[in-house]
């Protein structure tokens, strides 16, 4: 006896029809045999889906003699709670910046020299945006502004204070974004090397 699933299905169907031949009209007999005949096609296992490609991680290493990145960390902390996640396109989901851990109320500084392009609320969150020239713009999300549009700022000047917004009050942060020629880019290459997240008492925070 053929033990393949399709063959067993065909034989079982044929036996039932033989025992009940007087009760089944010819049309049903043909239909039943046809269903049994296509059994192997129905039971064939689908081709396995290709395995997803592993996520890539880019690590920037500063070589000896390499020029220091132009930006500074806005709160003194280099602890990144969530990194840059590039969207598939301009309208897809992603994480268009990095979340820098910082306690509420801590002063946030301009990452480089520039002119304040925006200081106000976006989607209910306080935001400060600074134009650094050459098409490069930084955004400090969840920072209560201490500056106004048009103000000239120097690298390290306080421009706001950390507030609730992008991150919850239980784990506050500054969401640092960067745009180059009106497109969001990863701000990490503009900054000195980051650190892994760690738990620190509030008294240990810089600033």
Please check the confidence at residue 19 and state whether its pLDDT lies above 70: no
Q: Is 205 or 131 the better-scoring residue by pLDDT? A: 131
Please check the confidence at residue 198 and state whether its pLDDT lies above 80: no
Secondary structure of residue 27 in the 3-state scheme? helix
**Span 33-41, mean pLDDT?**
43
pTM of the predicted model as reported, rounded to 2 decimal places:
0.62
Residue 198 host element (H or E): none
Instruction: Give pLDDT tens digits for 53-81.
Output: 333 333 344 454 557 889 999 998 888 88
Instruction: Give pLDDT tens digits for 131-176.
Output: 999 999 999 999 999 999 999 999 999 999 999 988 888 888 999 9
| pLDDT the model gives residue 96 | 78
**Span 102-128, mean pLDDT?**
96
How many residues can be counted in the chain? 207
pLDDT above 70 covers what percent of the chain? 59
Banded pLDDT at 45 (limits 50, 70, 90): low
Please check the confidence at residue 94 and state whether its pLDDT lies above 50: yes
Secondary structure of residue 67 in the 3-state scheme? coil
**Span 15-40, mean pLDDT?**
41
Secondary structure of residue 136 in the 3-state scheme? strand
| pLDDT the model gives residue 47 | 58
Please check the confidence at residue 112 and state whether its pLDDT lies above 70: yes
Q: Where are the extended beta strands (E) located within the chain?
A: 80-82, 98-101, 107-109, 114-122, 125-131, 136-141, 143-145, 152-153, 158-162, 173-180, 183-185
Please check the confidence at residue 106 and state whether its pLDDT lies above 90: yes
Q: State how far the Cα of 167 lies from the Cα of 103, in Å rounded to an integer.
A: 11
């Amino acid at each position: 006896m053929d033990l393949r699933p399709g063959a067993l299905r065909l034989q079982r169907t044929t036996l039932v029809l033989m025992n009940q031949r007087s009760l089944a009209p010819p049309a049903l007999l043909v239909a039943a045999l046809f269903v049994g005949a296509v059994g192997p096609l129905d039971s064939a296992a689908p081709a396995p889906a290709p395995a997803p490609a592993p996520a890539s991680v880019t690590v920037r290493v500063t070589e000896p003699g390499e020029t220091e990145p132009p930006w500074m960390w806005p709160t003194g902390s280099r602890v990144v709670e969530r990194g840059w996640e590039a969207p598939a396109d301009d309208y897809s989901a992603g994480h268009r910046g990095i979340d820098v851990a910082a306690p509420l109320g801590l002063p946030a500084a301009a990452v480089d020299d520039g002119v304040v392009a925006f200081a106000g609320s976006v989607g209910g969150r306080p935001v400060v945006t600074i134009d650094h020239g050459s098409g490069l713009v930084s955004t400090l999300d969840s920072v209560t502004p201490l500056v106004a549009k048009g103000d000239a700022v120097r690298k390290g000047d306080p421009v706001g204070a950390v507030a609730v917004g992008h991150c919850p009050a239980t784990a506050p942060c500054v969401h640092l974004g960067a745009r180059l020629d009106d497109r969001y880019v990863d701000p990490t290459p503009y900054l000195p090397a980051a650190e892994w997240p760690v738990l620190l008492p509030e008294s240990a925070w810089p600033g």
